[in-house]
Amino acid sequence: MNKSFTIHDLPKEERPRERLIKFGEQALSAHELLQLILGRGIAGESVAVTAQKLLTHFGSLQKLAEASIEELSEIKGIGLAKAAQIKAAFEIGRRISTQTLPYKSKELNNPEKVYQLIKSKLKDYQREHFYIIALNIRNYSIAEISIGNLNASIVHPREVFAEAIKNRAASVIFVHNHPSGDPEPS
C-alpha cells in the first residue's frame, strides 16, 4: 500500500505551524499558509498536495480568493467545510484591509488622500458600490449608500442627504467604483 507524504514526514523545524511560530507568518509561502488553513489532507493525499492543487488550479491567491464555494469544492480534497474555511480566511483579510482609521476632516483635502482612504474598500467588488464620506468638524464616517450591478448604481438623493444629516456633515465626498476597470467618468 502506498503511503502518502504527510506534514509529519517533514523534520519538525520545516513544518508550516512550527515555522510560523518560530519565524512569523510573513516567512511562510502561500502554499504553507494554505496548509495551515486546511489543517489536514484526505485519505491518500497530504494537505501539502491539496494546497498545491488549489494554487495550481486557480493560478494565484487573488483568483483563489475570488473563487466561489462551488468552484473550490470541485477540487479533490476540498469539501464544503474546507471551502468555507478558505472563504472565511480571505474574508477576514479583506475586512482588515478595508478598515480605515479616522482622519481629521482637514486631512482629506485632496483627491489623492481620499483615494488612499477608500481604495482597498472598493478594489475587489464585482458590482458598483456608492459611498458617501460625510465630513464633520472632527472626523469622517463612511456609509455605503447603494450596491448596483456591473455597470450602474442607482442612488436616491434622500439616502445621500439622510446619511449626511445623520453624520452632521459639514461637507461630503461621493465615491464609487468601476468594476470594469475603466476609470473614465460615466
> How do residues 32-81 score in pLDDT, each as one tens digit?
999 999 998 888 888 999 999 999 999 998 899 999 999 999 999 999 99
Q: What angle, rounded to 10 degrees, do the helices at 30-38 and 47-58 form? A: 120
d(CA 108, CA 67): 35
- Per residue in 75-127, pLDDT (tens digit) is 999 999 999 999 999 988 877 766 655 554 456 777 887 887 777 777 767 77
66 touches 91 (CB < 8 A):
no
Confidence check: pLDDT of 150 > 70: no
Q: How far is CA 145 from CA 11, 115, 121, in A?
A: 53, 18, 14
Give, for 116, the enclosing helix (H) or strand (E): helix 111-122
* pTM of the predicted model as reported, rounded to 2 decimal places: 0.55
> Around Cβ 135, how many Cβ atoms within 10 Å?
23
Q: Which residue has the cell 455605503?
A: 144
Q: How much is the pLDDT for 57?
A: 96
Question: Could you give the percent of the chain with pLDDT greater than 90?
Answer: 25
